[in-house]
């Protein structure tokens, strides 16, 4: 029982890439082999500890009766996540060999290893402080990775924006942890969740609200979603990892993990509201975007809002299933976008359209990925919808159908704009690109069936009912609508896009953020001016005391006659006082 | 057993050696004498922590109970650790701005070193006061002798403020003496520890105001920007890393051992003041365009947080306050060392005049990241533990004050702006040809970072050395 072994390979990978600096062994070799090792270890653990619930505690330090403990957990939920994380990471790192061949390798692989390390640690930790440590490490590593091409101003800006917005979540998470720890006296997540009744309701509500803020900021939900599209300045492999199994998934994973606390806090109705807002904003923004990666970024926000909606409708296991399925098809889509960038040098969908890309090797995986995203049977998304929607009420079901339509519309807008029926391009494929893409495509096609035995891992509820039939019909409608609007090269789609753009421009609140920034800067300028005035006030007190000392120096002139005058005046004063009778 | 007096012997011998060197016109570099003295002290401290310390008592005057007595109390060790180790890592920075009177510099440095170590060991309040005064006066000279053009004014301001604060402390000590007839910490504690009167509250208030000046905390921080900005790099590092802890240490002595009951009356108002101070410092740091100024106000922010922890009336908060003081005591020297390096290379610390340093000087960028990440409380670095404990203690004291955690967001804001300005994006600087950190600078930065990371990963080293109950 040494659960921390899961973390060891990535730790070794970090150390080796940092110190060998590509000299002895290629860092990509180190990173890929160590990630395979993590996959192996987590799979072995998953097999060995299947359906067991084991917790491993270490005491970090103590103050009085408070134990700051580090603790790892082995059960189906956490180990399954570890397997998924290391599997997706492995495929993305293999793809990186193709994608990052011209870049500074050791830095990239070091930061990626840190990123994967943080996510693996996060999914197996059972103590809030350990969870926070990995959570924050993930923020930092994503900051470094988003700013990987730091010389570009856009990248440097995006990195800063991402870290500041996620730091809001980090601070809320830390506050929530402090509130719970002060109330329960334990940092163990499982112990906290089983002892909820001892916590006063007000603290439950406050900490649940803070956890929700943390999750929203990490998963880029409304109102924090603005950092994610900008984070597209990162290398595409980073986006693929950030959007599928790590970073944004960790927010949803947090809520899934502490679901019992959420459900006694009475905050779920707000979460429903926020998810619905996020779904609509993100799908509309995806419809007006012309950048492959940005469209995918909005689709991630959209999909995560689905998960939050499932959590909010008391269906965390449905959210978990969706999370895993999403990790598969979203990493596929990002790898495809990355392939297009490397091979064709652009992310603009209209420029790509001009290139007439029509080989099956490009469009078949893309179709599989986008159909999964849209929820078209028999691909992954369809099965994920079956369990996601299990607890939906009628009204949410109706709204969800609209969301499905929008999602399907923007997915296939991307597809029909970029890919062409009879393309003419001549491009050589690379095996490091094809292996991960092929694996993920196959999984996206047949993986949905895993729903039927997922139940034996984690109890899950699903139903193939009328709603699901309607839902898939609507998804298909979205596909046809997209075909009608965007596949016809002569259709004035540009005009339509322009119209959409003018409608939804207000939705990105970059202006609001910018003016908040200026307001804070202005305010700090004011404080600084006050500080200047304060300093001057002290200075004038100083000079005042100097002038006072001049006066007092005058008094001590050494001139005897002066002293006599003062003495006599004093004596008269004393006599008067005596006469008055003081 | 290592007698505590041995801890100051190497420093004293070093001062004598420096004098002899001057007299004999020997060629030994002054700095190697200083390094040897400090290295020996560090070795003795390590031996002492392994084999145990024994006290040292030398009565000087029975009438006024003045004695040189070195005995460790429950909070001495962490401060001693900082005072013994940190100056050694700071001294190499003298090369940035100390070009003349190197011998005098080394003498002053060693005097400060010895007196601060003695101060943290003294169990006699009067001798504690004397050692404190020696160190502060030496600092006064150090500020203006090697500072920039306007450093004399800053040094004067520093002197006036610290002297006012010292007078308050002396008054408080005398009042304690009048009350108990002793300056010895243990015998005072026996009298006053569970006593409660307006008299003792007055004593505590005097110490409190003095500590607020020394930390510094708003609104009595007017000496800080000038003294930090105008001094030489190594002196700034000493001021922010070590001198700002003197106030906290004396305050802790009163809170824990002398007037705990009175201290609890003042918790709430001081806590509110500290919160205001934290936000105040954070906002000013946000508006500063100069790196050294930004780090100065940043140091004020963390000292305000430490004050919050100290005043929180519970062990977690107090431990956190101490931890934060020690931890930031290693981070701020690293920060100021990097500003010194930046000025030596580019001639400026103005963040609008340099940019894109990651391309040209990646090692500098790496350590800049360490400073930034350590300061904003990234786990794995020492400040995280301090901040976590302080906020936990503050929450236990009064839940609403947890709001102060928002100041960490502002800190993130200005630190990341600094990164964006000077580390990221396209390279530009007044001087085009930059050299990355030299070997000696590398040793210095690596050593400081090592301490920061070790304390972050193994905080129990420091926490277990704190024992709040032992006088």
- A60, A163, A524 member nearest B286 (Cβ): A524
Helix axes B30-51, B102-121, angle to 10 degrees: 20
Q: What percent of chain B has pLDDT over 70?
A: 100
- Tell me the C-alpha distance between A339 and A357, whole Å: 12
- B358, B379, B425 member nearest A153 (Cβ): B425
pLDDT for res A492: 57
Q: What is the DSSP letter of A243?
A: H
The CA–CA distances, whole Å, from B265 to A139, B255, B303 equal: 40, 11, 21
* pLDDT above 80 (res A359): no
Average pLDDT estimate for A79-101:
87
Q: What is the pLDDT of residues B291-317, one digit of tens each?
A: 999 999 999 999 999 999 999 988 899
pLDDT for res A494: 60
All structural domains of chain A with their residue ranges: 269-493, 515-580
| Mean pLDDT score across all residues of chain A | 83
* pLDDT above 80 (res B94): yes
pLDDT for res B116: 92
Interface test with A, best of B156, B413, B463 (most A CBs within 10 A): B413
- Tell me the C-alpha distance between A208 and A172, whole Å: 10
With contact defined as beta carbons under 8 Å apart, do A214 and A173 qualify? Answer: yes
pLDDT for res A353: 74
Average pLDDT estimate for A225-246:
85
Flag whether residue A137 sits within 8 Å of chain B, measured between CB atoms.
Answer: yes
Region of residue A212 (left: phi > 0; alpha: psi -120 to 50; beta: else): alpha
- For residue A455 the two structure tokens come to 């139940």
* pLDDT above 90 (res B249): yes
Look at the block and give the residue holding tokens 């401060």. Answer: B79
Average pLDDT estimate for B461-465:
88
Query: Of the given ranges (B104-108, B384-388, B390-394), which has the lowest mean pLDDT?
Result: B104-108
- For residue A123 the two structure tokens come to 């999914």
pLDDT for res A402: 87
Interface test with A, best of B388, B394, B404, B417 (most A CBs within 10 A): B388
Q: Which residue has the higher pLDDT, A479 or A104?
A: A479
pLDDT for res B329: 92
Q: What confidence tier does A156 reach under pLDDT thresholds 50, 70, 90?
A: confident
Q: What is the pLDDT of residues B436-453, one digit of tens each?
A: 888 888 998 999 999 999
Q: Which residue has the higher pLDDT, B421 or A510?
A: B421
pLDDT for res B326: 93
CA-based R_g, chain A, Å: 31
User: With an 8 Å Cβ cutoff, are A60 and B459 in contact?
Assistant: yes
* pLDDT above 60 (res A490): no
Q: What confidence tier does B212 reach under pLDDT thresholds 50, 70, 90?
A: very high
* pLDDT above 90 (res A132): yes
* pLDDT above 80 (res A56): yes
* pLDDT above 80 (res A21): no
Which helix (H) or strand (E) is A494 found in, with range? Answer: helix A493-504
User: With an 8 Å Cβ cutoff, are A535 and B413 in contact?
Assistant: no
User: With an 8 Å Cβ cutoff, are A136 and B378 in contact?
Assistant: yes
The CA–CA distances, whole Å, from B348 to A573, B336, B415, B446, B470 equal: 62, 13, 18, 24, 48
Chain B contacts in chain A segment 271-330 (CB below 8 A): none
Contacting residues of B for A534, CB less than 8 Å apart = 219, 222
Flag whether residue B362 sits within 8 Å of chain A, measured between CB atoms.
Answer: no
Torsion of CA B282, B283, B285, B289, to 10 degrees: 160
Q: What is the pLDDT of residues B108-161, one digit of tens each?
A: 888 999 999 999 999 888 889 999 999 998 888 888 888 888 888 888 888 888
**3-state SS class at B355:** strand
Shortest Cα–Cα distance, B232 to chain A (Å): 21
Q: What is the pLDDT of residues B327-377, one digit of tens each?
A: 999 999 999 999 999 888 888 888 888 888 888 888 898 999 999 999 988
Chain B contacts in chain A segment 174-193 (CB below 8 A): 174-175, 178-179, 181-182
- B222, B376, B416 member nearest A538 (Cβ): B222
Contacting residues of B for A137, CB less than 8 Å apart = 378-380
Average pLDDT estimate for A443-467:
81
pLDDT for res A497: 65
Contacting residues of A for B309, CB less than 8 Å apart = none
User: With an 8 Å Cβ cutoff, are A520 and B379 in contact?
Assistant: no
User: With an 8 Å Cβ cutoff, are A150 and B423 in contact?
Assistant: yes
Flag whether residue B408 sits within 8 Å of chain A, measured between CB atoms.
Answer: yes
**3-state SS class at A188:** strand
Q: What confidence tier does A556 reach under pLDDT thresholds 50, 70, 90?
A: low
The winner for highest mean pLDDT among A47-51, A93-97, A104-108, A124-128 is A124-128
Considering only alpha carbons, which residue of chain A is nearest residue B316?
A: A63
Q: What is the pLDDT of residues A168-196, one digit of tens each?
A: 999 999 999 999 998 888 888 888 888 88
Flag whether residue B52 sits within 8 Å of chain A, measured between CB atoms.
Answer: no
b (16+ CB within 10 A) / e for A117-143? bbbbbbbbbbbbbbbbbbbbbbbbbbb
Region of residue A403 (left: phi > 0; alpha: psi -120 to 50; beta: else): alpha
pLDDT for res A134: 92
* pLDDT above 80 (res B456): yes
Flag whether residue A534 sits within 8 Å of chain B, measured between CB atoms.
Answer: yes
* pLDDT above 70 (res B252): yes
- Tell me the C-alpha distance between A260 and B99, whole Å: 65
Q: What percent of chain A has pLDDT over 90?
A: 8
Average pLDDT estimate for B423-433:
83
Considering only alpha carbons, which residue of chain A is nearest residue B293?
A: A528
The CA–CA distances, whole Å, from A111 to A11, A503, A510, A566 equal: 11, 39, 28, 80
Shortest Cα–Cα distance, A156 to chain B (Å): 6
Contacting residues of B for A535, CB less than 8 Å apart = 222, 225
* pLDDT above 80 (res A421): no
Flag whether residue B468 sits within 8 Å of chain A, measured between CB atoms.
Answer: no
Average pLDDT estimate for B402-416:
90
Q: What are phi and psi of A343, to 5 degrees?
A: -80, -35
pLDDT for res A555: 66
User: With an 8 Å Cβ cutoff, are B406 and A151 in contact?
Assistant: no
Shortest Cα–Cα distance, B2 to chain A (Å): 27
pLDDT for res B271: 92
Q: What is the pLDDT of residues B162-179, one digit of tens each?
A: 888 999 999 999 888 888
Which helix (H) or strand (E) is B3 found in, with range? Answer: strand B2-3
Q: What is the pLDDT of residues A557-582, one digit of tens each?
A: 667 777 778 778 888 888 887 777 65
* pLDDT above 70 (res A125): yes
Q: What confidence tier does A493 reach under pLDDT thresholds 50, 70, 90?
A: low
Shortest Cα–Cα distance, B56 to chain A (Å): 30
- B405, B412, B459 member nearest A174 (Cβ): B405
Flag whether residue A57 sits within 8 Å of chain B, measured between CB atoms.
Answer: no
pLDDT for res A578: 76
- Tell me the C-alpha distance between A373 and B430, whole Å: 52
* pLDDT above 60 (res A484): yes
Q: What is the pLDDT of residues A245-276, one digit of tens each?
A: 888 889 999 999 998 888 888 888 898 889 98
pLDDT for res A503: 64
């Amino acid at each position: 029982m040494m659960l921390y072994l899961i973390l060891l390979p990535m730790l070794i990978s970090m150390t080796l890439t940092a110190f060998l600096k590509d000299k002895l062994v290629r860092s990509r070799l180190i990173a890929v082999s160590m990630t395979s090792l993590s996959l192996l270890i987590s799979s072995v653990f998953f097999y060995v500890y299947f359906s067991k619930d084991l917790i491993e505690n270490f005491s970090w330090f103590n103050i009085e009766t408070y134990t700051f403990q580090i603790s790892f957990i082995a059960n189906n939920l956490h180990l399954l996540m570890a397997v998924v994380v290391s599997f997706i990471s492995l495929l993305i790192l293999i793809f990186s060999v193709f994608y990052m061949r011209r870049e500074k390798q050791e830095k990239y692989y070091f930061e990626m290893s840190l990123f994967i390390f943080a996510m693996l640690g996060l999914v197996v930790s059972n103590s809030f402080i350990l969870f926070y440590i990995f959570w924050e490490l993930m923020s930092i590593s994503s900051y470094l990775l988003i700013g990987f091409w730091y010389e570009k101003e856009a990248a440097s800006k995006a990195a800063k924006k991402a870290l500041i917005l996620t730091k809001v979540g980090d601070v809320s998470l830390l506050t929530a942890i402090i509130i719970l720890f002060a109330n329960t006296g334990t940092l163990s997540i499982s112990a906290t969740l089983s002892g909820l009744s001892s916590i006063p309701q007000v603290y439950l509500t406050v900490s649940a609200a803070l956890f929700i803020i943390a999750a929203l900021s990490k998963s880029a939900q409304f109102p924090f979603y603005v950092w994610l599209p900008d984070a597209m300045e990162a290398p595409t492999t980073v986006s693929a990892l950030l959007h599928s199994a790590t970073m944004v998934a960790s927010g949803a994973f947090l809520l899934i993990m502490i679901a019992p606390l959420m459900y006694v806090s009475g905050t779920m109705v707000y979460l429903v509201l926020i998810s619905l807002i996020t779904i609509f904003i993100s799908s509309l923004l995806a419809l007006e975007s012309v950048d492959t990666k940005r469209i995918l970024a909005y689709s991630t926000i959209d999909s995560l809002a689905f998960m939050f909606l499932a959590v909010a409708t008391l269906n965390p296991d449905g959210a978990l299933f969706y999370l895993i399925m999403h990790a598969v098809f979203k990493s596929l889509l990002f790898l495809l976008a990355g392939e297009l960038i490397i091979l064709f040098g652009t992310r603009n969908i209209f420029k790509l359209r001009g290139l007439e890309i029509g080989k099956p090797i490009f469009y078949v995986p893309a179709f599989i990925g986008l159909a999964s995203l849209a929820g078209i049977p028999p691909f992954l998304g369809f099965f994920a919808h079956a369990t996601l929607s299990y607890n939906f009420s009628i009204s949410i079901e109706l709204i969800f159908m609209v969301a499905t339509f929008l999602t399907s519309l923007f997915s296939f807008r991307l597809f029909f704009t970029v890919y062409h029926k009879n393309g003419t391009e001549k491009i050589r494929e690379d095996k490091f690109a094809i292996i991960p893409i092929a694996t993920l495509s196959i999984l996206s096609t047949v993986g949905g069936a895993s729903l039927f035995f997922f139940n034996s891992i984690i109890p899950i509820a699903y139903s193939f009912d009328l709603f699901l039939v309607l839902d898939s019909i609507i998804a298909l409608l979205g596909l046809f609508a997209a075909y009608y609007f965007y596949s016809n090269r002569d259709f004035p789609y540009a005009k339509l896009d322009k119209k959409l753009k003018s409608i939804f421009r207000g939705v990105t609140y970059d202006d609001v953020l910018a003016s908040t920034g200026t307001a804070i800067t202005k305010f700090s300028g004011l404080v600084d001016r006050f500080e200047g005035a304060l300093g001057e006030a002290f200075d004038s007190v100083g000079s005042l005391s100097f002038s006072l000392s001049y006066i007092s120096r005058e008094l001590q002139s050494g001139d005897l006659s002066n002293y006599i005058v003062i003495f006599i005046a004093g004596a008269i004063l004393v006599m008067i006082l005596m006469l008055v009778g003081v | 057993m290592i007698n505590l007096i041995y801890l100051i012997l190497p420093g004293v011998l070093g001062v004598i050696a420096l004098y002899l060197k001057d007299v004999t016109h020997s060629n030994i570099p002054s700095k190697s004498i200083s390094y040897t003295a400090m290295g020996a002290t560090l070795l003795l401290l390590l031996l002492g922590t392994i084999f145990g310390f024994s006290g040292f008592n030398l009565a000087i005057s029975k009438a006024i109970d003045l004695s040189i007595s070195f005995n460790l109390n429950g909070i001495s060790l962490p401060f001693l650790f900082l005072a013994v180790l940190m100056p050694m890592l700071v001294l190499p920075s003298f090369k940035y701005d100390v070009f003349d009177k190197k011998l005098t510099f080394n003498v002053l440095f060693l005097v400060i070193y010895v007196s601060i170590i003695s101060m943290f060991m003294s169990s006699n309040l009067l001798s504690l006061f004397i050692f404190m005064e020696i160190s502060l006066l030496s600092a006064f000279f150090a500020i203006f002798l090697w500072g920039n053009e306007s450093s004399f004014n800053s040094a004067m301001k520093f002197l006036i403020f610290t002297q006012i604060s010292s007078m308050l402390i002396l008054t408080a000590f005398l009042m304690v003496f009048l009350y108990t007839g002793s300056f010895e910490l243990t015998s005072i504690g026996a009298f006053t520890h569970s006593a409660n009167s307006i008299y003792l509250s007055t004593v505590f208030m005097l110490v409190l105001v003095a500590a607020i000046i020394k930390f510094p905390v708003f609104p009595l921080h007017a000496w800080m920007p000038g003294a930090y900005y105008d001094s030489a790099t190594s002196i700034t590092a000493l001021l922010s890393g070590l001198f700002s802890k003197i106030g906290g240490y004396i305050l802790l002595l009163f809170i824990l051992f002398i007037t705990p009951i009175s201290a609890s009356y003042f918790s709430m108002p001081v806590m509110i003041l500290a919160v205001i101070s934290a936000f105040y410092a954070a906002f000013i740091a946000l508006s500063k365009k100069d790196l050294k100024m930004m780090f100065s106000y940043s140091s004020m922010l963390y000292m305000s947080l430490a004050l919050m922890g100290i005043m929180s009336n519970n062990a977690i908060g107090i431990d956190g306050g101490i931890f934060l003081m020690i931890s930031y005591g290693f981070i701020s020297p690293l920060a100021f060392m990097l500003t010194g390096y930046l000025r030596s290379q580019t001639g400026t610390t103005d963040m609008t005049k340099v940019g894109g340093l990651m391309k040209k000087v990646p090692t500098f960028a790496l350590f800049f990241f360490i400073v930034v990440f350590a300061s904003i409380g990234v786990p794995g670095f020492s400040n995280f533990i301090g901040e976590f404990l302080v906020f936990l203690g503050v929450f236990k004291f009064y839940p609403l004050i947890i709001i102060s955690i928002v100041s960490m967001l502002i800190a993130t804001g200005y630190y990341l702006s600094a990164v964006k300005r000077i580390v990221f994006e396209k390279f530009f600087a007044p001087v085009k040809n930059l050299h990355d950190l030299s070997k000696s600078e590398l040793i210095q930065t690596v050593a400081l970072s090592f301490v920061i990371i070790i304390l972050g990963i193994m905080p129990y080293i420091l926490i277990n050395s704190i024992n709040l109950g032992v006088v």
